[in-house]
């Protein structure tokens, strides 16, 4: 037991830099005074520790409420209460006659009132392994090394590489950066993506250390960039240290034989769904290498919630992106989202619900009055329905129910959302083919898509490299979708960050994207203004963002020829004689009877009052 206490204490003090130990642990490794929920549950793991009876040395405001074991003899759960007004310091827990010192820290000033991301922001999504290599990663003792020749292998991008190019991201006009998960994924293969955690509290050494992550977040903040952490609550990696010694058999969802989820997400809302179908959706595994977590187990639910709060509080995050949102237990998601928002009322959480149906996505957003009484506290969701409508609008021929009509009608479904402006709309992500390829390498249509992303009533998210017209197969091919950012590695022939080796088309697109999102940063009417749209006609779609003092007109011409647009139709929002500035072109014009919109182009006009 003495070895336990010594190592556990060392773990508390040096977690950011030390290698993980799979036989002696205490998690979370520290906590804070002043949290709105006063409860804290410690999970201790060491040989035979379940039989220990802990005692707490007197500490004003802190009470040891209970302790209990699970099934394994190697876990002990200790329940504490930290009353309001408790001062920071060090708890002393006696375990089997030895003393365990546990840090209680002061929260950073203003931590509880931190402002999360919202409609004022624009998000840049990166896959850290594929973005840039800066030298912070360490390969020692990890099961998979780097092999840039393997599309599904690790390529060696790291936190130092991200830090070196924060100016590039901020310079494009983005205000938030979302890296795919950075926690340890110590699997033998396919470990680069980060969605199969083997240690929830440790940054993967191939990206760097916990200290490197803290430095990345701090430097990003100094450059006007918030950091959104990608959190996976539904599953872990098969190599997670729990798998060698599960706290209890029901810690993961077990089946008589291996059973995968069938991804039938509508079973959760379907009034006619089979109970077996619902169970297979939520409890089935993603793949053999991703055990499905059972959040109905109270200690696991508490563990995942405290782990989430620990990352937010320790590193000053501005929000969360929650992977495979609806696959987790519904009641757990209610409690988890409520607790996060209780501690951080102004934070934002965006959930991934990969459905083309607004009714399904809206079910999970905070404020929705659901048919079955389900309540969520998650403020935002990824807008997969509108993203699919945007792609259809630009690839289908226009008709009564096709092409641009899909986009018009898709946005008209905003009545099902309690807060549509807080949804995240994206051009693509790490799981979808590149938008430039889906639009058949048409630069004009790609610009239309990004202009819509930046101006409609949503929070925009751009996938790294879209500004360079990066390509991929049009069928799902994760390794090639998540291709290396040009210039992120020494010796790359092209360099996104300096412009060297880029084609004229790429440089033009990069500059155009920079102008678009830099303008958006200060375009308050885009952040909080109302929206009025007009039904598409003859391959042209028009909408307005406006308030009492400001008006922006957005025109999307998908035709292969310039469009002559009669302005009388829009007299609810504009009138002849008003002056207008072309946001992207810089020209100023006086509105008359008609305007000409170039072929395959967006036109964004700021209208003077």
- Catalytic residue IDs: 323, 352
Query: Residue 423 in 3-state DSSP?
Result: coil
CA 174 to chain CA mean position, Å? 15
Residue with tokens 């599904």: 152
3-state secondary structure 278-327: HHHHHHCECCCCCCEECCCCHHHHHHHHHHHHHHHHHHCCCEEEECCHHH
Cβ contacts of 384 within 8 Å, gap of 6 or more: 353, 354, 355, 356, 361
Omega into 420 within 30° of 0, i.e. cis?
no
Closest CA to 236 of 281, 191, 276, 302: 191
Count Cα neighbours of 372 within 13 Å in the Cβ-side half-sphere: 14
Q: Measure the N-to-C terminal CA separation of the chain; round to a whole number of Å.
A: 76
Q: How many CB atoms lie within 10 A of CB 97?
A: 10
Give dist(CA 122, CA 119) in Å, integer.
Answer: 8
In sequence order, the β-bridge partners of residue 545 are: 531, 552
Q: Across the beta sheet with 424-426, what order do the strands follow? A: 380-381, 348-351, 319-322, 226-231, 176-179, 123-126, 459-463, 424-426
Q: At what angle do helices 330-343 and 298-315 cross, to 10 degrees?
A: 30
CA 85 to chain CA mean position, Å? 34
Cβ contacts of 349 within 8 Å, gap of 6 or more: 116, 319, 320, 321, 322, 337, 340, 341, 378, 379, 380
Token output for 417: 């959302």
Say if CB 117 and CB 226 are below 8 A apart: yes
Q: How do beta strands 540-546 and 551-557 pair? A: antiparallel
Say if CB 467 and CB 124 are below 8 A apart: no
C-alpha pair distances (Å), 278 with each of 61, 272, 291, 353, 531? 44, 11, 18, 16, 38
Q: Rounded to the nearest 5 degrees, what angle is found at the Cα of 537, between the Cα atoms of 587 and 401?
A: 135
C-alpha pair distances (Å), 322 with each of 121, 196, 295, 378? 18, 14, 15, 10
Say if CB 406 and CB 392 are below 8 A apart: yes
Say if CB 307 and CB 28 are below 8 A apart: yes
Sort 606 into a burial class: Cβ within 10 Å, 0-12 / 13-18 / 19+.
middle
Cβ contacts of 2 within 8 Å, gap of 6 or more: 98
3-state secondary structure 227-285: EEEEECCCECCCCCHHHHCCCCHHHECCCCCCCECCCCHHHHCCCCCCHHHHHHHHHCE
Give dist(CA 128, CA 463) in Å, integer.
Answer: 12
Residue with tokens 């240690």: 199
């Amino acid at each position: 037991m003495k070895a336990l206490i010594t190592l556990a204490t060392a773990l508390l003090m040096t977690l950011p830099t030390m290698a993980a130990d799979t036989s002696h642990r205490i998690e979370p490794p520290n906590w804070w005074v002043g949290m709105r929920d006063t409860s804290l549950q410690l999970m201790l793991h060491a040989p035979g520790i379940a039989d220990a009876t802990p005692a707490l040395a007197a500490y004003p405001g802190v009470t040891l409420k209970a302790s209990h074991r699970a099934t394994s003899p190697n876990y002990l759960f200790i329940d504490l209460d930290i009353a309001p007004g408790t001062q920071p310091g060090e708890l002393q827990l006696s375990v089997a006659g030895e003393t365990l010192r546990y840090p209680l820290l002061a929260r950073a000033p203003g931590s509880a009132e931190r402002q999360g991301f919202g409609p004022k922001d624009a998000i840049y999504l990166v896959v850290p392994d594929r973005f840039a290599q800066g030298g912070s990663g360490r390969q020692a003792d990890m099961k998979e090394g780097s092999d840039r020749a393997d599309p599904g292998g690790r390529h060696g991008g790291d936190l130092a590489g991200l830090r070196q190019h924060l100016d590039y991201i901020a310079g494009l006009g983005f205000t938030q950066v979302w890296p795919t998960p950075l926690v340890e994924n110590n699997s033998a293969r396919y470990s680069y993506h980060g969605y199969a955690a083997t240690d929830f509290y440790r940054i993967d050494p191939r990206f760097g250390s916990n200290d490197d992550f803290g430095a990345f977040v701090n430097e990003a903040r100094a450059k006007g960039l918030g950091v959104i952490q990608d959190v996976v609550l539904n599953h872990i990696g098969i190599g997670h240290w729990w798998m060698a010694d599960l706290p209890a058999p029901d810690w993961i969802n077990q089946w008589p034989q291996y059973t995968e989820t069938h991804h039938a997400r509508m079973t959760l809302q379907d009034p006619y769904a089979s109970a077996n179908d619902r169970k297979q959706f939520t409890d089935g595994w993603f793949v053999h290498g991703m055990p499905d977590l059972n959040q109905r187990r109270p200690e696991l639910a508490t563990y995942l919630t405290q782990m989430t709060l620990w990352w937010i509080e320790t590193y000053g995050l501005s929000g969360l992106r929650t992977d495979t949102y609806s696959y987790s237990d519904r009641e757990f998601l209610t409690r988890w989202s409520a607790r996060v928002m209780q501690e951080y009322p102004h934070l934002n959480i965006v959930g991934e619900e990969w459905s083309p149906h607004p009714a399904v996505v809206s079910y999970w957003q905070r404020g929705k009055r659901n048919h079955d009484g389900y309540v969520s506290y998650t403020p935002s969701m990824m807008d997969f329905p509108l993203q699919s409508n945007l792609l259809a609008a630009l690839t289908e021929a226009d008709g009564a129910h096709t092409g641009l009509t899909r986009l018009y009608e898709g946005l008209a479904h905003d009545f099902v959302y309690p807060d549509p402006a807080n949804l995240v709309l994206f051009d693509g992500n790490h799981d979808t083919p590149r938008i430039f390829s889906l639009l058949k390498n048409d630069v004009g249509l790609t610009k239309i898509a990004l202009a819509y992303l930046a101006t409609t009533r949503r929070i925009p998210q751009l996938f790294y490299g879209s500004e360079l017209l990066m390509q991929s197969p049009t069928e799902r091919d994760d390794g090639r979708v998540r291709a290396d950012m040009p210039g992120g590695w020494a010796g790359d022939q092209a360099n996104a960050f300096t412009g060297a080796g880029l084609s004229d088309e790429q440089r033009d697109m990069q500059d155009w994207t920079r102008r678009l999102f830099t303008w958006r940063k200060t375009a308050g009417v885009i952040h909080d203004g109302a929206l009025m749209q007009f039904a598409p006609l003859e391959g042209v779609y028009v909408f307005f963002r406006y308030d009492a003092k400001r008006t922006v007109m957005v025109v999307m011409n998908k035709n292969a020829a310039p469009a002559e647009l009669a302005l009388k139709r829009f007299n609810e929002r504009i009138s002849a004689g008003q002056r207008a500035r072309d946001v992207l072109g810089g020209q100023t014009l006086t509105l008359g009877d008609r305007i000409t919109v170039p072929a395959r182009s967006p036109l964004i006009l700021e209208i003077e009052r």
